[in-house]
Structure 1
Amino acid sequence: MGISGVISAVLIGLVIGALGRLVLPGRQRIGMLWTIAVGIAAALVGTGIAAVLGVSDTKGIDWIEWAIQIALAAAGVAALQRFKGRA
């Protein structure tokens, strides 16, 4: 993966992670780097799930894939918040 791939992954992770945080009620006490990491993981896993379901490559915007990625990011942020709250 080249530098453009890394930059793209970080930007997509930032967007997906931020949208995942917006879905959750209340304030999440995790940092921006954790948000990006959760977003990148959610984007990758969400793309895989969408591919298995056959909805990853459609005409126009892939709304179902985005919904899967955002739901995974929200679940990841909530799980990380819960984990960090215990520590």
Structure 2
Amino acid sequence: MNNSPKRGEPSTTWSTKVQKDTDGELYIVLPDDLTDKLNWLPGDIIEFDETEMLGDVFDDTGFTLRNLTQEKDERFSGHIYNTE
């Protein structure tokens, strides 16, 4: 049985539950191993976009995340981050 990711799929996936704060605002907590791997720091500005995820059995909604702080920070220019 081949458990390797399909072409174009990430080799590692994370999932988390959407939570609600006392004001009714929704949020998620990113796992430490994910933020460590991406070198994301507390206070970074993260943008998220809703995406459609096509599955073999059903379609679902997912999100993509971008670290705008790193994109604007010259320390990271020219660096390629390997998440594998």
Q: TM-score, normalised by structure 1?
A: 0.30
Q: TM-score, normalised by structure 2?
A: 0.30
Higher normalized contact order (CA 8 Å, seq sep 6+, divided by chain length): 1
Q: Which of these two proteins has the greater Rg computed from alpha carbons?
A: 2
More helix, by proportion: 1
